[in-house]
Structure 1
Amino acid sequence: MTRRLRPVELDFVEVAPVRLVFAAALEAPPRAVHRALAEDLTDWPRWFDAVSGVTPTRGGDGRDVTLRVGIAFEETVLADDPDTRYAYRVDRTNAPAVTALAEEWRILPGPTGGSRVRWTFAVDGPPAARAFMKLTKPGLRYSFRAAMRALDRRLADSATH
């Protein structure tokens, strides 16, 4: 059963009680990374192993996301700034205890080419949920790094074909 979360805006990624922030360097240019994050939504499962499906909704203003572990999200896109940022909040989910959730992907040019990607996972909930989310940081870090390596390989392969 899904339940509605507290609607948050883009500033939540900076002020949330729990903020998990991860960064990675990619060889792919910012435009290609942004396109993979914000435009090629149905390809997410091909490079982000935790994700089993992403479907754009509301003419691109929303997304339906399912994870391989069975968690589902109905999301609203908060920012889609070409080549620099993609962010969304969760409106409804079957995940327990979370009361607000937003994610932001920042894409910056790398110092010597390529891109620098920063993913912020911002969440609120009761104290036990906050503590649990902090405990998930190593797993989320691993998942993020693996996803960024897979995405970089995928973008390099598509650039050569």
Structure 2
Amino acid sequence: MLRRSVLATFATFATLATASAAPTAGAVEAPVLGPIPPLSLLAEADGLTVTVSKSGHPKADGTFRLECDGRAGGNHPAAKDACRRLEQIARQGTDPFQPVGKDRLCTQQYGGPALAHITGKWQGRSVDARFSRADGCEIDRWENLEPVLPIVRG
């Protein structure tokens, strides 16, 4: 809804901005309405869908929406803390959705059967990431995103 409103406003500004600079005889000049909104306002808002299964905690399993656009929203059970954590990660300049590198050595410890899938947009980029607790690297990756992902101790 907000996106449609912003797009309609942008279209109105763009039409007015491209109107002829030299009015014809008897024409009334359109008032100056201000600058065209930045393109960043036209971008789709950040929001994530977090799906968790086999966590061992019935309230943590399920599919949740997390929106961190100025304030925490959606039905994520820890939305406020999850948005705070994503803001911290953004300030660090790291990508928490990056998979473990193929050449990385990981401890062979098992953290349990928990699985997660996160899709959506974060920092203007598309996200499609899968998480598990299959080894030390995956456990570390999962715990880095707590409480976006539920706290699970195996």
TM over 0.5: no
Higher RCO, Cα 8 Å, sep 6+: 1
TM-score, normalised by the number of residues in structure 2 = 0.24
Higher Rg of the two aligned structures? 2
